[in-house]
Amino acid sequence: MIDYRPYRPRTHNFLLKKLRQTLNTMQMRDWQVELYYGDIPPTCLQSQSDKVGACKYWIYNLDAVIWVNWSGCKADNQDPLDVLLHEVAHIWLAYETNEERQANILALLIGNTIVKEKK
């Protein structure tokens, strides 16, 4: 299991910026993703209110809703950014079914994380 970073207060604007960056990185620029950050989930995710985050997506419309539960993150000592990235991963895995393309994107992400380029 992944060790999540400990809780840090995050703003909605910070998470929106990271969401846009992540969608670009994951080659999901055409997606319309609505982000909710707070204690009350949106109507379409009401049944998930006991979780730290949840998502619902419509692949054919390239549309999604992500909810990050502020108080749930704090109570579970999880960084809301990690929760957001986790939910985007759910959407991406359902959307990107081409295994070769998945491997290419993941290799680039991992490579950028573990290798520092010299200037």
Summarize pLDDT for 52-101 with one digit per residue, the tens. 999 999 999 999 999 999 999 999 999 999 999 999 999 998 888 888 88
For residue 14, which of 32, 31, 37, 30 has the smallest C-alpha distance? 37
CA angle 37, 14, 110 (to 5 degrees): 105
The whole-angstrom separation of Cα 117 and Cα 47 is 45
Q: Find the mean pLDDT for residues 21-33.
A: 92
Domain boundaries, the chain: 12-114
Say what the pLDDT of residue 116 is: 59
pLDDT band at residue 5, thresholds of 50, 70 and 90? Answer: confident
Say what the pLDDT of residue 117 is: 58
CATH topology of domain 12-114: Zincin-like (3.30.2010)
Do 113 and 35 contact (CB within 8 A), yes or no?
A: no
User: What's the pTM?
Assistant: 0.85
The whole-angstrom separation of Cα 94 and Cα 88 is 10
Tokens of 96: 């990107």
